[in-house]
Amino acid sequence: MINRLLLLGILIYAIVVLGMAALNGAVLALAIPLLVFLGAGLLYGPETPQFHITRSLSTDRAEPSAPVSVTLSITNEGNRIDLAHIVDNPPRQLEVVEGHTELLTALDPGETVELTYTLRGQRGRYDFDEVKIRVMDFLGLLRRDVSVPVPGQFEFFVYPEVRRVDRIPIRPRVTKAYAGHIPSRVSGSGVDFFGVRHYQQGDSLRHINWRANARHQGTFYSNEFEQERVADVGIILDARQRTYVQIGDQSLFEHAIAAAATLADSFLTDGNRVALLRYGDLLDWTVPGYGKFQRERILQALARAQMGDSLIFDRLEHLPTRLFPPKSQIVMVSPLASDDADLLPRLRARGYQVLIISPNPIAFEKALLERNELTAMAERIATVERELLFRKLRQAGIQVFDWHVDIPLNQALAASMAQLRPLLDRNIGIVTS
Amino acid sequence: MNHAIKRYGAISGAALALAAGYGLVGAFWAVAAALLVAASWVIGQQRNKRWVTSGSFTLLVLLSALSPLFGAAPGWPIAAVVFSLIGWNQGHFARLVASVERVDGKELIEQRYRRRLMATAALGAMLAGLTPLIQLNFGFGIALFLGVIAILGFGRAIAYLRRESV
């Protein structure tokens, strides 16, 4: 598309050449209005503009689909500008739900204008770009395009959805020294009955086991309770693309991310030390930590998590088994592939307690596919394969929770907690501390 | 609506002035051409076709430039060129304002724009109207020299404009 300024120049040139060739002053005179127009455009044409821009977000992290308000403040630090077309470019994946991201205005020296809009989006880490400004005179013949960097931020996180879950019954072989909610297999003050021992001076009368006393007259016995402490919990998020199902914009991976976030939040709320490992195209390791800061670190890691394919990490054989503290609890979130059954038992062999939360890819895909005879048969075969895989894992002492993602994890866990707890209890190893 | 009337008014003014210039010397083919170009311009404007509006503007200006060679009085093509410029620029400005989601101080901007446009058009029309009253006699050598200067100068000017318009 030919530029307006250039078109005007060409027309003037053509008229002058025609006038001179025809030696006709009246033709030449016709170039004058165009020349005046061009002259006015050049005279009032914009100089290199100078702006100071600040951008503020109502929050730098948000829940999925939660509105986030963005305010862009633009100050003209140069000369007067006839027309400034200001365009902010929020990340494309975020949806503008209110307000405008562009503005046309006149700016006097020192004048400030504000552009406010509201965004929302799905899980992810987003970077804001430079602000693009086009300045021009009223006639619009000359214009200058500038990209103005915004100092300071900006990366913006939309965290995965975190749901509150009941306490997840984990039983690592070793716990830490601090009081928590995980049975430690050490006697002391607690709630759960642990054993009976001879009465010792100072024992509370409330703890005397009167039934045992009745059987063994002359000797007193006291009840012991199991101490509850915090533990090390390592969450492994399987991010191998081949294990997940994606149909259209529906992805099973998003459910796995939400599950990992919910688990991390639950374990951290209970005071445990939690680490996160994303195993996919690379290893993304969030070192163990406690509390709210660790929650932020893990949620940020999950916000930027993507699936990936890698020849090296295609199978779980490169899963680092020494990253997590010895004999701690590992919770893996993975739909699982058929060849994982041979490799996961290695974690058990190294003394870890392993719980696998497995989003069910068959049920997920079934809900999105058309029902016919072929899909029904495929579903049956895949279900049998999955059952066999689970059986192998359970035989190796690994607990597997088959999660149908159409039920939120908190509800699914709550419904299955009764079955999950005895399974975990049965797997307690003997620990001497 | 008001702006549309003004914009189409300028295009109509340009077409009518050109038609009058050609009509008075009996070149009715050019009258028809001017009206046709103006009609295509209006349609192009309504359908937001930039290349049609720019093409129509170019054709009207070139038709105006040819009219003195057919004996048209100088006032008509000058009026046609000035009206064409106004219509072309108003069309661009209207498109710009319509394409932006938010315009701050819209009325003030439009007011300033109209003032600038009208002042420029009036100055151009006045200077163009005065030019035929000025008569300079050149010898062939001076005319040739000025011609060469004009060609070189315009060449450089266009190169500059091209650079500036990137």
CA of A72 to nearest chain B CA: how many angstroms apart?
14
Tell me, rounded to whole angstroms, the distance of Cα A39 from its chain centroid.
Answer: 56
- Alpha-carbon distance of A235 to A284, in angstroms, equals 12
Partner residue opposite B65 with nearest CB, options A27, A35, A102: A27
Q: What is the pLDDT confidence band of residue A186, given thresholds at 50, 70 and 90?
A: low
Q: Are A344 and A398 in contact (CB under 8 A)?
A: yes
Q: Do B89 and A139 touch (CB under 8 A)?
A: yes
Each residue's pLDDT tens digit, A336-362: 988 888 888 888 888 888 899 999 999
For residue B131, list chain A residues with Cβ-Cβ distance below 8 A. Answer: 25, 28-29, 32
pLDDT(B70) > 60: yes
Helix (H, G, I), strand (E, B) or coil at A76: strand
Share of chain A above pLDDT 90, in %: 35
Q: Provide the pLDDT for residue B13.
A: 92
Instruction: Kindly indicate the confidence band of residue A155, based on its pLDDT and cuts at 50, 70 and 90.
Output: confident
Residue B32 distance to chain A (closest CA, Å): 21
Q: What per-residue confidence (pLDDT) applies to B165?
A: 57
- Shortest Cα–Cα distance, B15 to chain A (Å): 16
Three-class SS state of B75: helix
Q: Which pLDDT score is estimated for A380?
A: 93
Residue pair A416/A404 in contact by the 8 Å Cβ criterion: no
Q: Are A312 and A318 in contact (CB under 8 A)?
A: yes
Separation between Cα atoms, residue A171 and residue A351, nearest integer Å = 12
The pLDDT assigned to A428 comes to: 39
Mutate to test the interface with B, among A89, A138, A143 (most CBs of B within 10 A): A138
Q: Is the dihedral of CA B45, B47, B51, B52 positive or negative?
A: negative
Instruction: Please choose, from the candidates A155, A110, A150, A156, the residue with its C-alpha nearest in 3D space to the C-alpha of residue A133.
Output: A150
pLDDT band at A1 (very low <50, low <70, confident <90, very high): very low
> Which of A4-8, A359-363, A395-399 is predicted most confidently?
A359-363
8 Å CB contact between A83 and A139: no
CA separation for the pair A99, B74 (Å, rounded)? 52
Residue A429's pLDDT is what?
A: 32
Q: Which of B50, B124, B162 sits opposite A36 (nearest CB)?
A: B124
A127 phi, psi to nearest 5 deg: -115, 135
Q: What is the pLDDT of residue B35?
A: 93
The nearest alpha carbon in chain B to A86 belongs to B100
Q: What would the pLDDT profile of A199-232 be if each residue is shown by its tens digit?
A: 888 888 788 888 888 888 778 888 877 767 778 8
Q: Is the pLDDT of residue A104 over 80?
A: yes
**pLDDT the model gives residue A414:** 81
What per-residue confidence (pLDDT) applies to A430?
28
Nearest by CB to A9, which of B103, B151, B158? B158
| pLDDT for residue A16 | 86
Chain B CB contacts of A7 under 8 Å are: 54, 58
Strand boundaries in A202-360, DSSP class E: 221-229, 232-238, 246-247, 250-251, 273-279, 283-289, 329-333, 353-359
Subunit contact B102:A102, Cβ cutoff 8 A? yes
Report d(CA A204, CA A202) in Å as an integer: 6
Which residues of chain A does B164 touch, with a Cβ-Cβ cutoff of 8 Å? Answer: 5, 45, 142
How confident is the model at residue A432, as a pLDDT? 23
Phi, psi of A171 (to 5 degrees): -135, 75
Indicate the range of A20-29, A111-120, A251-260, B157-166 predicted with least confidence.
B157-166
Provide ipTM, 2 decimals: 0.86
The secondary element (H helix, E strand) that includes residue A194 is strand A179-198
Q: Among B82, B120, B158, whose Cβ lies nearest the Cβ of A40?
A: B120
Residues of A in Cβ contact (< 8 Å) with B86: none
The predicted model gives A276-292 an average pLDDT of 88
Most confidently modeled range among A226-235, A261-270, A424-433, B4-13: A261-270
pLDDT (0 to 100) of residue A177: 65
CA A165, CA A162: separation in Å to the nearest integer? 9
pLDDT tens, position by position, A16-75: 889 888 888 889 899 999 999 988 888 888 888 899 999 989 888 888 888 999 999 999
CA distances from A331 to A165, A262, A357, A425, B155 (A): 15, 12, 7, 16, 74
Contacts A116 to B, Cβ<8 Å: none
Q: Rounded to whole angstroms, how far apart are CA atoms A233 and A228?
A: 15
Inter-chain contacts counted by CB atoms under 8 A, chains A and B: 154
How far apart are the CA of A281 and the nearest CA of chain B, in angstroms?
A: 42
Closest of A264, A333, A261, A357 to residue A303, by C-alpha:
A261
Average pLDDT estimate for A386-411: 90
Is the pLDDT confidence value at A152 over 80? no
Q: Hey, are the CB atoms on B100 and A102 less than 8 Å from each other?
A: yes
The pLDDT of residue A2 is 55
Separation of alpha carbons A273 and A288, rounded Å: 6
- Between vectors from CA A246 to CA A242 and to CA A249, what angle results, nearest 5°? 150
- The first and second tokens of residue A425, run together, are 């209890």
Tally Cβ neighbours within 10 Å of residue A166. 10
Backbone angles phi, psi at A222, to 5 degrees: -120, 150
> Pairing between strand A95-99 and A112-120?
antiparallel
Measure CB to CB from residue B124 to each of A18, A37, A113 and give the nearest one.
Answer: A37
* Digit-coded pLDDT (tens) for B118-163: 999 999 999 988 887 777 777 778 878 877 887 787 777 777 766 6
Provide mean pLDDT across the span B36-49.
89
| Residue B82 C-alpha, separation from nearest chain A C-alpha, in angstroms | 6
Q: In angstroms, what separates the C-alpha of A148 from chain B's closest C-alpha? A: 18
Token reading at B50: 């930039």
Contact at CB, A24 and B68, closer than 8 angstroms: yes
Mind listing the pLDDT tens digit for each residue in A76-86? 998 889 999 99
Which residue of chain A is at minimal alpha-carbon distance from B72?
Answer: A26
A156 CA: distance to closest CA in chain B (Å): 25
Q: A34 contacts in B (CB within 8 Å)?
A: 61, 81, 85, 124
Q: Shortest Cα distance from A52 to chain B (angstroms)?
A: 19
Tens-digit pLDDT profile for residues B87-115: 999 999 998 999 898 999 899 999 999 99
Q: What percent of chain B has pLDDT over 90?
A: 48
Question: DSSP 3-state helix, strand, coil percentages of chain B (rounded to 5)?
Answer: 85, 0, 15
Output the six-digit token pair for B123. 């100055």
> What residues in A contact B157, CB-CB < 8 Å?
9
Task: Give me A204's structure tokens.
Answer: 């509370």
The yes-or-no verdict on residue A9 having pLDDT over 50 is yes
**3-class secondary-structure state, position A203:** coil
Place of tokens 């009955």: A193
CA distance B105 to chain A (A): 7
Q: Which residue of A has its CA nearest to B156?
A: A9
| Closest in A1, A25, A34 to B81, CB measured | A34
Q: Say which of A8, A9, A29 has its CB closest to residue B78.
A: A29
Gap between the Cα atoms of B164 and A9, Å rounded: 12
Report the residue of B96, B164, B166 to disrupt the A interface, i.e. the one with the largest count of A CBs within 10 Å. Answer: B164
- Taking contacts as CB-CB distances below 8 angstroms, the residues of chain B near A142 are 164-165
What does the mean pLDDT of chain A come to? 85
